[in-house]
Amino acid sequence: MHLLFSVTWGTVSGWWTLVCLLLGLLYGWLMYRQPVSLGRRVRYALFAARALAVFLLSFLLISPLIRSVAYNPQKPLILVAQDNSESIKLFGLTPNRDFINALSQLKQQLGDQYEVREFHFSGNLKDGLSDKFDGKQTNISAAIHQLNERYVNQNIGALVLATDGLYNQGSDPRYEAKNLKTSIYTIALGDTVAKRDLLIGNVNYNKTAYLGNDFETEVLAEAFQAKGENIRLTVDEDGKQVFSQTDAVTSNNFRKTIPIKLNADKKGTRKFTINIAPVKNEISVQNNTETIYVDVLDARQKILLLYNGPHPDISVIKQSIESNRNYEVKASLLSDLPKLKLSDYSLIILYQTASNSSGELQSFITKSKVPVWYIVGAQTDLPQLNSEQKQVQINSGRSEMQEVFAQPVQEFSLFTLSDSTKKKLSQLPPLLAPYGNYSSNGAGQVLFKQRIGEVPTPYPLLSFTDENGRRTAVLTGEGIWRWSLSEYNAYGSHVALEELFSQAVQYLTANSNHQRLRVYAAKNVFDEGENVILNAELYNQALELVNTPDIRIELKSRAGKTYSFLFSRNGQSYQLDARMLPVDEYTYSASTKLGNETFTASGQFTVKPLNLETRQSAADHRSLYDLAKQSGGQMLQPSQIGQLADLIKKNENIKTVVYEDKRYSDLIDLKWIFILILGLLSAEWFLRKREGEI
């Protein structure tokens, strides 16, 4: 790092320096123009000391600035990302420790002029290289995105990406790589030649079915280099075969979608094992079997969505809630209320309206204590809304709307949203909320607060409360359709919006049966390697949430292994993170004691294996070639790793960048200036004292 210093006057003219110098000379001349007993040398010395001291003092009065310029050279960063997923070793040429060693030698080969950082990835990015190749999924675009975020605004010289090009999570990495703005050198692992293999390419099915109904599942069966063989597909449930079909393989690159009709004749989580019988000399049989789990429900909970007029938010709300097949939404105009049977519904959503606009609806809500979700917009009668509920009061003297962003509240504990969902929602376009002052009664909890531009506010955007046995939610903004469009454009799905509505509706309808102890898993089926989360709620006789007593839970796997846990308190309720559990089916039993009463709850969930890495056996080197070409890099084979260092050194775009850092500080802040002035005045006093002038 190199530093340069210079003096600048900001808004003051540089001519003041000459004025200060003249002032110092004039002051010194006036004091020592007629010495009586001083020698010429002493007189000149005293004149110089006084002139310089006065010059410095007067110079400080004009507040000059010191400009320091620091030149910071930053070496080019060479990022090495290595695919650690199972597909690398399952198919084609298996990389060994020699490959990892060759990759790690890049740091020594490049020398001190480059800074090399090493990572491995499967579902997520992790530090260092790995020779385990045990990742259950591959998300190349996520690895590139995380590297770009981690080293934003730094001198990224190149990315070395060692992978087979196969991914089963995330988007096409070629699109994400365009945001990296650096050269990408791909190392093409795996084998592009398809081997003799029969496999299940994909299973398309609904995770929820209803008791007594038939449901259809589609299985994509694939066969490579197996012309003349037969695909024998079977489906078993609890060891009993429920479906069988045989199809002839008519080509060496054979694909067929096979529809399967199954019956939901038992309630609960149903396990179906789909299997393709292996053939001789097949490269892998791991991809011949797939297990799916279907949650068979007794009935769907009905939700009533009432509105005064059409709005694009209506369809988005309906679709987001119905993405969870536990719920069925009836959207209806408020004017059609007499045609509805209100007792059929577990939740009422009032979109830009209030229940006291209808005497029948208000009476039903008051007597039944049915949960209510108010959604506020430009058409909402705010005085009417304020009179009906006390959770959020909006005082507005005008009918203007303002744009507000969602600001997550970390202390919220009524239910759990994933970190990715909260992050996505906070980055989505703003909703439109009434302009005015907001207040809340403090009895509930706020999930999102309003952020106006970059300024966070204490105003609630989405809040929940549970008073006198009835749960209520208030969303103080409209324009949810913007969230839907933006999330799909950015991520290709509506996962965050669907999770928000599913969790909110689940919380609102949770105590409709007034069960005092509720224990439920965050989902019915967890993926292998995923943390198992369970939630618990305990209610007193007034149906108020309490979490004073301990809640114990015992998990039991189908294999007979037992796990015992104690719930942790989370806000007003409880939560348990059981970490990663082995693949199996689990039942659980929880118990607690409140006063003299003992409560129990039970349920089940499943941890299913992930077979994503076995669904493709031929490497995709074409995408790796495209990645390298579009970025100005090059695709290499594993045997060419030794050439990588020379290619990077010869790339003229990869070079050290010098950053200029300018800083300004007041000259008066420099302590040595005061020491110099004090020294000059002290030296003058000492000389005059010695010469007898004082």
What confidence score (pLDDT) does residue 683 get?
82
- DSSP state at residue 502: H
CA dihedral 93, 96, 102, 104 (to 10 degrees): 120
Q: Distance of CA 316 to CAs 311, 321, 331, 480, 530, Å?
A: 10, 9, 11, 7, 29
What confidence score (pLDDT) does residue 250 get?
94
Q: Which strand (E) or helix (H) includes residue 72? A: strand 65-74
What confidence score (pLDDT) does residue 592 get?
95
What confidence score (pLDDT) does residue 12 get?
54
Residue 172 tokens read as 């096409």
Distance, CA of 263 to CA of 632 (rounded, Å): 55
Residue-wise pLDDT for 187-214, tens only, equals 999 888 778 889 898 888 887 787 778 8
Q: Where are the beta strands (DSSP E) in 409-551?
A: 431-434, 437-440, 445-452, 455-467, 470-475, 517-521, 525-527, 531-539, 545-546
In this model, does residue 166 exceed pLDDT 80?
A: yes
Q: What is the mean pLDDT of residues 588-592?
A: 95
Residue-wise pLDDT for 352-366, tens only, equals 987 666 677 888 887
Confidence band for 218, pLDDT divided at 50, 70 and 90: very high
- DSSP state at residue 610: P
Distance, CA of 369 to CA of 471 (rounded, Å): 8
Look up residue 542 and give its amino acid. Answer: A
Q: Which residue, among 124, 140, 137, 123, has the nearest Cα to 176 in the 3D structure? A: 140
Beta bridge partners of 472: 372, 465
Radius of gyration, CA atoms only, the chain? 36
Q: Which stretches of 510-620 are DSSP H helices?
A: none
Residue 380 tokens read as 């909402």
Q: Which strand (E) or helix (H) includes residue 486? A: helix 480-491
569 against 41, higher pLDDT = 569
Q: Which strand (E) or helix (H) includes residue 45? A: helix 40-61
Q: What is the mean pLDDT of residues 617-631?
A: 90
Is the pTM value of this prediction over 0.85?
Answer: no
Residue 134 tokens read as 């045990």
Residue-wise pLDDT for 658-684, tens only, equals 777 777 777 777 778 888 888 888 887
Distance, CA of 113 to CA of 657 (rounded, Å): 11
Helix axes 671-690, 40-61, angle to 10 degrees: 150
Residue 571 tokens read as 């806000």
Task: Answer positive or negative: Cα dihedral of 416, 418, 421, 427.
Answer: positive
What confidence score (pLDDT) does residue 29 get?
82
Helices and strands (H, E) in the chain, number of each type: 16, 38
Q: Which residue, among 126, 134, 127, 128, has the nearest Cα to 88 in the 3D structure? A: 134
Q: Distance of CA 155 to CAs 2, 110, 116, 162, Å?
A: 19, 16, 12, 21
Secondary structure (3-state) at 132: coil
What confidence score (pLDDT) does residue 231 get?
94
Q: What is the mean pLDDT of residues 214-230?
A: 91
Q: What is the mean pLDDT of residues 579-587?
A: 91
Q: Which residue, among 261, 330, 328, 266, has the nearest Cα to 298 in the 3D structure? A: 266
CA dihedral 36, 42, 46, 49 (to 10 degrees): 170
Mention every residue, 6+ apart, whose C-beta is less than 8 A from residue 651.
Answer: 157, 158, 183, 632
φ, ψ dihedrals at 238, nearest 5°: 55, 45
Sheet containing 253-263: give its strands across.
Answer: 197-204, 214-224, 253-263
What confidence score (pLDDT) does residue 459 get?
93
Beta bridge partners of 220: 202, 257
Distance, CA of 627 to CA of 179 (rounded, Å): 12
Distance, CA of 208 to CA of 269 (rounded, Å): 9
Beta bridge partners of 268: 296
With a pLDDT cut of 70, the percent of the chain lying above it is 94
Identify the structural domains of the chain with CATH numbers, from first to last. Answer: 2-71+662-690 (no CATH), 76-193+618-655 (3.40.50.410), 197-293 (2.60.40.10), 301-509 (3.40.50.880), 517-608 (2.60.40.1930)
Least confident of 91-95, 266-270, 412-416: 91-95
Confidence band for 543, pLDDT divided at 50, 70 and 90: low
- Long-range pairs of 335-343 with CB within 8 A, sequence gap ≥ 24: 337/306, 337/361, 340/304, 342/304, 342/368, 342/370, 343/368
Helix axes 480-491, 495-509, angle to 10 degrees: 130
What confidence score (pLDDT) does residue 198 get?
92
Q: Distance of CA 409 to CAs 339, 372, 429, 435, 459, Å?
A: 40, 22, 18, 21, 12
With a pLDDT cut of 90, the percent of the chain lying above it is 40
Confidence band for 293, pLDDT divided at 50, 70 and 90: confident
Secondary structure (3-state) at 569: strand
In this model, does residue 2 exceed pLDDT 60?
A: no
150 against 444, higher pLDDT = 150
Confidence band for 342, pLDDT divided at 50, 70 and 90: confident
Residue-wise pLDDT for 471-498, tens only, equals 899 999 999 999 999 999 888 889 999 9
Q: Which residue, among 257, 126, 284, has the nearest Cα to 611 in the 3D structure? A: 284
Confidence band for 160, pLDDT divided at 50, 70 and 90: very high
Instruction: Count the Cβ atoms, other than its own, within 10 Å of residue 87.
Output: 28
CA dihedral 388, 393, 397, 400 (to 10 degrees): -100
In this model, does residue 168 exceed pLDDT 80?
A: yes
95 against 406, higher pLDDT = 406
What confidence score (pLDDT) does residue 335 get?
85
In this model, does residue 374 exceed pLDDT 90?
A: yes
DSSP string spanning 272-293? EEEEE---TT-S-SGGGEEEEE
Secondary structure (3-state) at 67: strand
Q: Where are the beta strands (DSSP E) in 99-252?
A: 115-121, 125-127, 156-163, 183-188, 197-204, 208-210, 214-224, 230-237, 240-248
